[in-house]
């Protein structure tokens, strides 16, 4: 029973028994049955916190292999998962993540899109709150990449608006910080080129305010986010 393995895995994680947790996960994946993503994502985050990206990648790939519905969350030449928000947001693993907040509402919109059938909509209600939407992306060190994304704004009012940021999760290096959006604008193509550091392995692609936690109200749409190796 996969749920029994997940309960044991949670115990191993809580007691920081990484070697035993790996064994439990391998036996769980060997069942070849669908695995509850929430339980798997807790173990995924544990592996990331230990900088064990090989294990995190194994968890993600096993999770998709065991559940046919998750096979759509794959990448080929583009490193961003679900960059057009055509699939439901999993809020974990290598898909998009967001933090529930009273200041920013996150939703998927099928009425305003850059391409495809859906986009991500962020509604800001004027309180001080960072958008909190991001995705973890594994990369290679000392390698050139090209970032691309689209934003559209409606009635954005504040000292500074939302923008894309690409940064290293462990080295705290900022690679890309695009121009921000304010007021009402049509779809804008925001890009950035960079070369990763010698020790880079994991990036975060996020929608941010910089500086963070300043007053902002209005709506922004996000679509067609991409990261490709040059």
Task: Summarize pLDDT for 166-198 with one digit per residue, the tens.
Answer: 999 988 899 999 999 999 999 999 999 999 999
Q: Mean pLDDT over residues 103-127, rounded?
A: 93
**pLDDT (tens digit, 9 = 90+) per residue, 198-213?**
999 999 999 999 887 7
pLDDT of 103: 84
Q: Is 218 left (phi over 0), alpha (psi -120 to 50) or beta?
A: left
- pLDDT tier for residue 128 given thresholds of 50, 70 and 90: low
Spatial distance between the Cα atoms of 57 and 143, rounded to a whole number of angstroms: 19
Strands (E), the chain: 97-98, 104-109, 119-125, 133-138, 144-158, 163-168, 174-177, 183-195, 202-208, 216-229
Percent of the chain with pLDDT strictly greater than 90: 85
pLDDT at 151 over 80: yes
What is the H or E stretch that residue 20 is in?
A: helix 18-30
How confident is the model at residue 163, as a pLDDT?
96
Rounded to the nearest 10 degrees, what angle do helices 2-14 and 37-49 cross at?
30
Residue 20, token pair as written in the block: 């035993």
- CB burial of 114-130 (b: ≥16 within 10 Å; e: otherwise) equals beeebbbbbebeeeebb
pLDDT at 99: 85
**What confidence score (pLDDT) does residue 77 get?**
86
Residue 78, pLDDT above cutoff 90: yes
The residue written with tokens 């992306």 in the block is 137
Predicted local confidence at residue 5, as pLDDT: 97
């Amino acid at each position: 029973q996969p749920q029994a393995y997940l309960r044991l895995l949670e115990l191993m994680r809580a007691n920081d028994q990484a070697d035993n947790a790996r064994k439990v996960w391998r036996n769980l994946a060997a069942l070849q049955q669908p695995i509850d993503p929430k339980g798997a994502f807790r173990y995924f985050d544990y592996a990331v916190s230990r900088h064990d990206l090989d294990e995190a990648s194994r968890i993600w790939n096993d999770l998709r292999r065991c559940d046919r519905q998750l096979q759509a969350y794959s990448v080929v030449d583009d490193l961003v998962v679900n960059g057009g928000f055509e699939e439901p947001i999993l809020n974990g693993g290598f898909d998009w993540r967001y933090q529930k907040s009273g200041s920013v509402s996150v939703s998927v919109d099928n009425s305003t899109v850059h391409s495809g059938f859906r986009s991500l909509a962020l509604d800001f209600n004027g309180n001080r709150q960072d958008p909190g939407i991001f995705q973890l992306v594994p990369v290679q060190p000392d390698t050139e990449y090209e970032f691309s994304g689209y934003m559209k704004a409606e009635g954005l009012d504040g000292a500074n608006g939302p923008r894309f940021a690409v940064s290293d999760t462990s080295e705290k290096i900022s690679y890309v910080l695009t121009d921000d959006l304010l007021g009402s604008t049509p779809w804008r193509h925001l890009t950035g080129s960079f070369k990763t550091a010698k020790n880079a392995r994991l990036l975060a692609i996020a929608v941010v305010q910089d500086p963070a936690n300043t007053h902002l109200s209005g709506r922004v749409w996000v679509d067609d986010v991409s990261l490709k190796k040059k």
